[in-house]
Amino acid sequence: MKSDTARPYMAHQIAQHAELGLDLQRANAHASHLLLRFARLSPHQRRFMSLRAELASVAELMTLQISCCDAIADNKLSQQIEHIRVRLGTTCDFCEENPALSSSEKHDARFGRLTPSPAWTTQLDSLTGLTTRIFHDIFGNSFSAGGETKKSVHCFNKLHTAIRRQRRHLKRIAARKQPKITVEHDISDICDRCGRRYE
């Protein structure tokens, strides 16, 4: 038996998380674009400084967005499924003929799990490599502690932190705890669904 052991979330939480995930992927793409433009400029050009300010702003936005994603994932109303009980038995004729009326365990479409796009992880891998390469190309041989270098290092650090937080978030919501599964054989002469005695 295969079981989804992820924490259940309300539909509006899943929708919010999906929207934030798309926003983060757009922000990641924008950051990649800015980094590629960075690579063509000298750290002393005025355009470099305005790009750095824009990149720092994107990194701050990413941090806020991932904080919102974490808040959804942390929702205390969502409970981890720890135990699944399976009862094997016979269903009475009434329940067989009227499944919609008698079923006590219907699937509730209001609940689900957080499932980010697989492209998000791939995008983060690419952005991490790009950030490291561009930073090294521009500042790898610089030991200056000047004001502009400090600002640039701070900007790249903000971006790197936002990327790491996204990675942690994706890893956390993908973590699954294997639930305990108990199988019971019901041999009583009373229907478990409706309480009627078998004829």
Residues 30-44, mean pLDDT to the nearest whole number: 88
Candidates 181, 137, 129; CA nearest to 159 is 129
Gap between the Cα atoms of 53 and 118, Å rounded = 30
Asked whether the predicted pLDDT for residue 69 surpasses 80, the reply is yes
Structural domain contains residue 140: yes
Structural domain contains residue 199: no
What is residue 4's predicted lDDT score, i.e. its pLDDT?
Answer: 38
Gap between the Cα atoms of 47 and 51, Å rounded = 6
Q: How far is CA 40 from CA 35, 63, 132, 147, in A?
A: 9, 26, 15, 21
DSSP 179: P
Structural domain contains residue 198: no
What is residue 107's predicted lDDT score, i.e. its pLDDT?
Answer: 46
The secondary element (H helix, E strand) that includes residue 111 is strand 111-112
Q: How far is CA 145 from CA 5, 116, 139, 153, in A?
A: 50, 40, 11, 10
User: Is there a contact between 112 and 78 (Cβ–Cβ < 8 Å)?
Assistant: no
Structural domain contains residue 2: no
What is residue 157's predicted lDDT score, i.e. its pLDDT?
Answer: 92
**How many separate domains does the chain show?**
1
Q: What is the pTM of this model?
A: 0.67
CA angle 109, 113, 119 (to 5 degrees): 125
What is residue 176's predicted lDDT score, i.e. its pLDDT?
Answer: 57
Structural domain contains residue 44: yes
Asked whether the predicted pLDDT for residue 38 surpasses 70, the reply is yes
Asked whether the predicted pLDDT for residue 23 surpasses 90, the reply is yes
What is the tens place of the pLDDT at every residue in 137-194?
877 766 565 667 788 888 999 999 999 999 999 998 886 555 677 777 767 777 766 7
Structural domain contains residue 184: no
Structural domain contains residue 166: yes
User: Is there a contact between 86 and 1 (Cβ–Cβ < 8 Å)?
Assistant: yes
Residues 48-71, mean pLDDT to the nearest whole number: 94
Residue with tokens 């959804």: 72
What is the tens place of the pLDDT at every residue in 94-145?
777 776 655 444 444 555 778 888 889 999 999 999 999 988 887 776 656 5
In the structure encoding, which two tokens stand for residue 135, read together? Answer: 């930073």
Asked whether the predicted pLDDT for residue 75 surpasses 90, the reply is no
Question: By residue range, what is the domain housing residue 132?
Answer: 9-81+118-177
Structural domain contains residue 23: yes
